[in-house]
Amino acid sequence: MKIFLRIVWFVMLTVVTQVGGLVYVIHLVLYHKVWKPKKWKWLKRQASFVLLYAFVWLIVIPPLAKLNNRRPLPYINITTLQPQNWFTVFCNRHYVHEDLYYTMEAVSEDFSNQSADRMGGLTLNYLDANFPFMDGFPLIPHLSHNDGKKLDLAFRYNSNDESSSKNQTRSLLGYGVYEEPQEGEIDQTAICKRTRWQYDITKYIGIPIHSTLRYDGAETERLMSLLIDSDIEKIFIEPHLKQRMGLFSDKIRFHGCHAVRHDDHIHVQIP
């Protein structure tokens, strides 16, 4: 039973953080074969694992990822681009190819500069990006975030009581609380759900935290325009929002019914 639970834990850590499973195995060996404490065993085991993971996360991974042309998106010393939540960062899901890093740095600087009169410039929120290592290693549940060249961005929102655009999202992880189609707009979710059950599966992780926030169509459109004018190759967003924005660009594509709905975030990728 112990072995079974250890395997489950290894797989879970690997799926969620990529390197966590490996850290877990190294920790097991060090703890049981080298350290072998006699007292406070449970506490020492948990604390030492957290410390080892933190060491690998902070010191070991970034320089090794650089050898793979990937680097972490900003999470301290925030200027114009920030993580929507710390889960993304602690789980190593914030790594991108160098080219995508510089592209997003430029887009977020333009976005902020254009809004310098509001809150000293608005900051873009990023969601899931990629893991630091190995092309082809999937960042579950995303189908394509496996080569450093994909990134999800949060929509822009504002609140009922303040007119300024907010650096916050409506849901805890930035996914799963949707900007639904309005009357007369394409309802792609209804179309896809006829043949694909998983199209709205992200609703199960859509934990609302800022229910007073409203989707800011003008600011999201401003972000989309900057993305279209940048080195980004493809942009995925739900067809009814593209229709509502009135944007025409061959960079904006439909992601297909085999993916999940994109009326809670924007997906971008480089060649």
Residue with tokens 């439909």: 254
Q: Which of 71, 147, 129 is nearest to 265 (CA)?
A: 129
Find the shortest distance in angstroms from Cβ 233 to Zn ion: 13
Q: Does 261 bind Zn ion (CB under 5 A)?
A: no
Find the shortest distance in angstroms from Cβ 7 to Zn ion: 29
Give, as ranges, the residues between 46 and 75 that touch Zn ion (CB under 5 A). none
Find the shortest distance in angstroms from Cβ 120 to Zn ion: 29
Residue number with CB closer to Zn ion (56 or 96): 96
Q: Which residues of 116-127 are buried (b: 16+ CB within 10 A; e: fewer)?
A: eeeeebbbbbbb
Contact window for Zn ion (CB under 5 A) among 1-9, 74-82, 146-154, 195-203: 146-154
Q: Which residues of 68-97 are buried (b: 16+ CB within 10 A; e: fewer)?
A: bebbbbbeeeeebbbbbbeebbbbbbbbbb
Q: Does 93 bind Zn ion (CB under 5 A)?
A: no
Residue number with CB closer to Zn ion (49 or 175): 175
Residue number with CB closer to Zn ion (152 or 216): 152
Residue number with CB closer to Zn ion (71 or 267): 267
Binding residues with Zn ion: total (CB under 5 A): 2
Residue 77, CA atoms < 13 Å, CB-side half-sphere: 3
Strand segments, DSSP code E, in the chain are: 70-72, 81-83, 95-97, 124-126, 150-154, 157-159, 165-166, 213-215, 234-236, 252-253, 265-269
Find the shortest distance in angstroms from Cβ 142 to Zn ion: 5
What residues contact residue 1 under an 8 Å CB cut-off, 6+ apart? none
* 8-state DSSP, 74: P
Residue number with CB closer to Zn ion (156 or 262): 262
Residue number with CB closer to Zn ion (152 or 219): 152
Contact window for Zn ion (CB under 5 A) among 36-44, 87-95, 179-187, 261-269: 261-269
- R_g of the chain, CA atoms, integer Å: 20
Residue number with CB closer to Zn ion (56 or 139): 139
Q: Does 267 bind Zn ion (CB under 5 A)?
A: yes
C-alpha angle 18-254-199 in degrees, rounded to nearest 5 = 60
Q: Does 94 bind Zn ion (CB under 5 A)?
A: no
**Per-residue mark of binding to Zn ion, 147-176 (x: CB under 5 A):** -----x------------------------
Read off the tokens for 114.
Answer: 């254009």
Q: Are 70 and 95 in contact (CB under 8 A)?
A: yes
Judged by the rule CB under 5 A, the positions of this chain that interact with Zn ion are 152, 267
